[in-house]
Amino acid sequence: MNGTTGEKKGLKIGVAGKGGVGKTLVASTLARLAARSGTFSQVLAIDNDPSLNLGMALGIPVDEIGRPISEMRDLIKERTGAAPGESGPFKLNPRVSDIPDKFAVPGPDGVRLLVLGTIRDPGSGCLCSSNALVRELLYHLIVQRDELVVLDFEAGIESSMGRATSRGLDLLLVVVEPGQKSIQVGEKLASMAKQLNIKHVLAVVNKASDEGEARLVSERLTSKDIGVIGSIPQSRGAIEADMKGVPLLDHAPDDMAIGAIKRILDHITNQFYN
């Protein structure tokens, strides 16, 4: 499928949400199920969240993950001309095309992980060269790569993505759990995404105790003009897997949450790829 001229080769999906809603579970499981499907030639998972939990959620041992790109002082100096904390000019568009292949870590099911780290507060001054490298790398990953890229975003997506980058994102999934705070954050994220001209913004309702609760949250989001692509039931297996530090996909592959994420992946593939 991917080798035919004129067919779309890549798909870029961002996953965002309030801390604790399960966005990393969604991102990691989507990536591994997509890799298993054989639909995509390659699957690259990107950790852009300060908590840096995507590697564990994918099933990659902590000692194999390495430091985030945003903390690689020598690399930042080499590519931008200035290490974090150094004064003087630096390149705003450093060379980054080789970084994914050099620094991505192989994981289960053939998924590769690249840990970007987070873009720091520009007001801190001394980290601008780090920000320049990470921003340019995000642009390359979203706009120029021909593969499935799944990005686990920090909550404030506007700090990570410029408008040129955001226009390359095919879909932003906003993960929301039942509760006013989570819903409010989800609504804010969806609004930000639309201001950034992200092509499609859809919500995922996670941790719903039953269909009625999922429906209530979906109706609230729909009333705010936020479409819902699917819901994931509350999962005891997910809690157990998190406590053991292993992926739900390995701990309980037949869990209802896995089935729900698989259905969401099928919707995404049918609607945005095939």
pLDDT computed for residue 128 by the predictor: 84
Write the DSSP string, 63-122: HHH---GGG-HHHHHHHHSS-TT--S---SS---TTHHHHH-EE-GGG-EEEE---PPPG
pLDDT computed for residue 64 by the predictor: 94
Tokens (6 digits) for 175: 């993960």
- What's the CA gap between 174 and 148, in Å, rounded? 18
pLDDT computed for residue 85 by the predictor: 79
- What's the CA gap between 48 and 12, in Å, rounded? 14
Q: What is the DSSP letter of 127?
A: T
- What's the CA gap between 13 and 22, in Å, rounded? 16
Q: Which residues pair with 206 in a beta bridge?
A: 232
Query: Is pLDDT of 9 > 70?
Result: no
pLDDT computed for residue 133 by the predictor: 93
User: Of 162, 115, 158, 128, nearest to 142 (Cα)?
Assistant: 162
**Which range, of 117-121, 223-227, 246-250, averages the lowest pLDDT?**
117-121
pLDDT computed for residue 19 by the predictor: 87
pLDDT computed for residue 6 by the predictor: 40
- What's the CA gap between 8 and 274, in Å, rounded? 8
Query: Is pLDDT of 160 > 80?
Result: no
Contacts of 170 (CB under 8 A, 6+ apart): 11, 12, 13, 199, 200, 272
Q: Give me the chain's average pLDDT, please.
A: 89
**Cα-trace Rg, the chain:** 18
pLDDT digits (tens, 9 = 90+) for 95-116: 999 999 999 999 999 999 999 9
Q: Do the beta carbons of residue 12 and residue 40 sit within 8 Å?
A: no
- Angstrom CA distances, 93 to 69, 70, 85, 128, 135, stand at 16, 15, 18, 12, 9
- Check the CA dihedral 117-144-204-224 and report its sign: positive
Contacts of 129 (CB under 8 A, 6+ apart): 76, 77, 80, 81, 82, 83, 84, 86, 90
Domains and CATH numbers, the chain: 11-57+106-120+147-272 (3.40.50.300)
- The reported pTM is 0.91
